[in-house]
Amino acid sequence: MSQVILYSKPGCHLCEPVKEVILSLQREWGFEFLVRNIEEDAADFEKYQHAIPVVVVDGREIARYRLKREQLEAALESL
């Protein structure tokens, strides 16, 4: 089963639309979905403090700032 991680933080105005895209596809594809708050992990914060939201599929970054449904579908299909 694939894993999709959304790196985010509270109050991120770009994160909600990205989360909605992921959730809509999760129902169809059945992948595991995790949201990681970058403020809870120093390494995540250092890496992503100026880049959220970031979407990672099975360890591979596929999007920053915005995510189109087609991007996520293509990433899932390529696995």
Adjacency order of strands within the sheet including 54-57: 32-37, 3-8, 54-57, 60-64
Under the banding of pLDDT at 50, 70 and 90, the label for residue 79 is confident
Of 35, 42, 38, 32, the C-alpha closest to 76 is 32
- Read off the pLDDT of residues 12-24 as tens digits, 9 standing for 90 and up: 999 999 999 999 9
Find the domain containing 63 and state its range: 3-77
- CATH code, domain with 63: 3.40.30.10
- Read off the pLDDT of residues 31-75 as tens digits, 9 standing for 90 and up: 999 999 999 999 999 999 999 999 999 999 999 999 999 999 999
- pTM here? 0.95
Query: How many domains in the chain?
Result: 1
With a cut of 90, say whether residue 76 has pLDDT above it: yes
